[in-house]
Amino acid sequence: MPESIDHPEGGETEPVRLPESDLESIEANVRKLLGQSAEQARQLDSLASAPPPPDSLFGAFGMPGFAGLAPQSAPPEPRPILELEGEEYEDELDALSDWVDDFLVRVYGAEVTTAAPWCEQWQEHADVVAWLHALWLAYQQHKDPEAGLSGLFVWHRDFLTHAMATVRAAGGPLSACMTDPDRPAHRLLPGPPPSSRTAAEIAESEENGARGQGAG
């Protein structure tokens, strides 16, 4: 049996003193264990955030990954609005109209004059829709925290000023529309005719179509 330890009077035990070499060895072991624990924590975080590879058992059946969460799919890439069609186009135009009417024009819409025309039916001008949609996409990008503190300054300098100057230019796409707030107007300006090469191809196609109908 181990020898009993005699307690001094008063019931208090004296602290155990270890040699200096033993203390250094214990400290080294503790540091090693802490380092291993930190490394394991980093590995677990990495495994939890990474989606399972496509050829893994989890990925093949669409099952959750290591952390019990399904891999997050990347958001769809923004597309120019004029490339959209049907309901997708209408939904995007509705969202754009809300931003233009509730924010852009209310904050940055200078007075309507002959030098800065506007149109209450700007949605009917395809080129204006394209310009404002591009401006809106740039706004969403530059107001994101990842754009940094200067993000919105860059948007004002490189996007807002140029886009509004083009859309509302005296000879721009809205020059035949409203130049006085008291006299709303809307007119689509005709664009240039197709090039002679395209016109020839159209004429040839129409001629071939007419021959086909005549043969039938």
* pLDDT, tens digit, 9 for 90 and up, residues 134-151: 999 999 999 999 999 999
Q: How confident is the model at residue 122 (pLDDT cuts 50, 70, 90)?
A: very high
Q: Which is higher by pLDDT, 105 or 22?
A: 105
Rounded CA-CA distance 185/119 in Å is: 7
Residue 6 pLDDT class (50, 70, 90 cuts): low
Query: What is the per-residue pLDDT for 27?
Result: 75
Residue 118 dihedral angles phi and psi, to the nearest 5°: -150, 175
Q: Are 96 and 129 in contact (CB under 8 A)?
A: yes
Task: Provide the CA 18 distance to its chain's centre, in angstroms.
Answer: 62
DSSP sequence for 15-72: PP---HHHHHHHHHHHHHHHHHHHHHHHHHHHHHHSPPPTTSHHHHTT---TTS-PPP
Specify the pTM. 0.60
Q: Which of 159, 179, 182 is nearest to 170 (CA)?
A: 179
State how far the Cα of 10 lies from the Cα of 171, in Å rounded to an integer: 102
Q: Is the pLDDT of residue 20 over 60?
A: yes
Compute the half-sphere exposure of residue 35: CA atoms within 13 Å on the CB side of its CA: 6
Residue 71: the pLDDT is 53
Sole residue written with tokens 């080129």: 127
Question: What confidence tier does 88 reach under pLDDT thresholds 50, 70, 90?
Answer: very high
The pair of three-digit structure tokens given for residue 17, joined into one six-digit string: 């003193």
Please provide the average confidence, as pLDDT, over all residues in the chain: 81
Q: What is the pLDDT of residue 34?
A: 76
Element (H, E) at 197: helix 196-215
- 66 pLDDT higher than 50: no
Q: Output the six-digit token pair for 24.
A: 């250094």
Chain centroid to CA 70? 22
- pLDDT of the residue at 106: 94
% the chain with pLDDT above 70: 73
What is the predicted pLDDT for the residue at 32? 76
Q: Quick one: pLDDT band at residue 73, thresholds 50, 70, 90?
A: low
pLDDT at 67: 47
Top-confidence residue, 63 or 17:
17
Out of 70-74, 91-95, 210-214, least confident range: 70-74
Residue type, 181: P
Residue of 2 and 73 predicted with greater confidence: 73
